[in-house]
Structure 1
């Protein structure tokens, strides 16, 4: 065996080990969520297909406010991700194409927000939302996260890679700034826009501490908070806990699987730009 072939075999072996490490927890979650509780208690992890059931999923949804919290999480994800994409696109456009004094300082301030720990903003955000009378509401969860520095950074880098002559030609043809952004700049940055959308959606869906802090009613909390409560309520039923975990995990898995093509293209284009 040549040295190159041996190196290729070792790389594939290492890749297989890494994939196994990543996939195994997901496999355990799926199998445990779909197995009868007696099989889970017996520690069976290689079930026959005819043994899989959906009873645990139904029980997890019925045992708490998880169904309502699921809808709240979907609403939070849509509102928060949409707001972050809009503000990021507008900010990135302003930081790249129009020439104005202080543009570099403004971008430095955007980058500085990435270095601020989120925990340090909890008290000011809590005071602001409470003063607005939005505690225990959907808007109270979303308002502090209408903009995201990382999304601004990602779209700015994408806009910088575009030929400035295309934007100038659009402006000469009579396009205003908003029209140039919507019809010229964003279509050329579609992979990076999808990457930013996935990042914003995943961040919103996985939020836990702030929704827990700003809400009081179980029906107005997100599914991540509901899952933590489900763990406490069903401590003696691992199958139900895994079923709830699968319900929470499923949207993120589907988002990554269906958006993988855009994610790879967006990241690869930034590497080669």
Structure 2
């Protein structure tokens, strides 16, 4: 008889905790520690958000009785109704939307025009002009409040939407961010657009800005958030509740509803939710725009 050949399958190679047949690696102790630390930090960050969210839908005093996890039967929308009706919150909401629209549009247009002038046309003093823009980033806003107040009052725009927005129709940061983005665009693209007969405005808005979409989106988000969160200047330049922004209205709500925290939480949630939606929806463009803007 011929000897029977015994086939011995080689042992499966195991590298560390890796099982190649299943493609799974057991987590190491360091990974588990890092994951636990991330969970702890996330809990610390999101706990105030959760408390505010739950308190906005819970009748006043229920949090103290039921803790942080009230039943769904206790949830109510009455806090939002009371927050809107106790002060002029709805008109202030509309004022804030108008201010954000006007201020953001003006900052993006002026920022794009200035950034285009600082990058593509060749002219003497271009570096000095960019240095002046950078200097404006270091000037505290509080230091120019009094001149702005005197100017807006003299031209008759006090207690108006335009008066709230006019000192911020141009800003240094959008100019800086868009300038860095435009500088990364190859000059050949701009020269080709000019050879095709594009004027400066057409080349800017149809060629240059579409190629820098992440940075443009980042500038829009930054300008919109700055306009939405403005507090000191709208409080100073307005006299009536209907002309003030939502941030000023929330401070008035805090004084009017000091004995009803749930109503205050509801009003605060009405202010925070639009910014959260904006940031979450444009998170990808925001990260890409900031990363590309600082690498140039």
- TM-score bucket (shorter structure): over 0.9
Structure 2 residue corresponding to 1:143, chosen from 156, 166, 181: 166
Structure 2 residue corresponding to 1:108, chosen from 115, 128, 131: 131
1:72 aligns with 2:95: yes
Q: Partners in 2 of 1:116 and 1:272 — Cα distance? A: 24
Post-superposition offset of 1:92: 0.6
Q: C-alpha offsets along residues 92-149 of structure 1, whole Å, 9 cap, x if unaligned?
A: 1110111101100100000000100110000000000001011111110000000110
Post-superposition offset of 1:196: 0.6
Post-superposition offset of 1:161: 1.1
For residues 38-53 of structure 1, what are the structure 2 equivalents within 5 Å?
38-42=61-65, 44-53=67-76
Q: Partners in 2 of 1:181 and 1:63 — Cα distance? A: 47
Whether the 8 Å CA contact 1:85–1:196 is kept in 2: the answer is yes
Match of 1:257 in 2: 280
Post-superposition offset of 1:272: 5.4
Q: Highest Rg: 1 or 2?
A: 2
Secondary structure of the equivalent of 2:104?
Answer: helix
Q: Partners in 1 of 2:124 and 2:294 — Cα distance? A: 29
Secondary structure of the equivalent of 2:198?
Answer: coil
Q: Partners in 2 of 1:262 and 1:235 — Cα distance? A: 39
Whether the 8 Å CA contact 1:40–1:239 is kept in 2: the answer is no
Secondary structure of the equivalent of 1:37?
Answer: coil
1:186 aligns with 2:227: no
Q: C-alpha offsets along residues 74-108 of structure 1, whole Å, 9 cap, x if unaligned?
A: 11111101110111011111101111011001000
Q: Partners in 2 of 1:23 and 1:209 — Cα distance? A: 27
> Which stretches in structure 2 are left out of the alignment for 5+ residues?
1-15, 18-26
Structure 2 residue corresponding to 1:236, chosen from 233, 253, 259: 259
Q: Partners in 1 of 2:33 and 2:290 — Cα distance? A: 26
How many residues of Structure 1 are paired with residues of Structure 2 in the alignment?
A: 272
Structure 2 residue corresponding to 1:215, chosen from 228, 238, 261: 238
Q: Partners in 2 of 1:97 and 1:116 — Cα distance? A: 27
TM-score with structure 2 setting the length: 0.88
Post-superposition offset of 1:12: 2.4
Match of 2:224 in 1: 201
Post-superposition offset of 1:16: 2.1
1:63 aligns with 2:86: yes
**Structure holding more helix per residue:** 1
TM-score with structure 1 setting the length: 0.95
Aligned in 2, Cα 1:66/1:114: closer, same or farther, shift over 3 Å?
same
> Which stretches in structure 1 are left out of the alignment for 5+ residues?
none
Aligned in 2, Cα 1:172/1:246: closer, same or farther, shift over 3 Å?
same
Match of 2:13 in 1: none
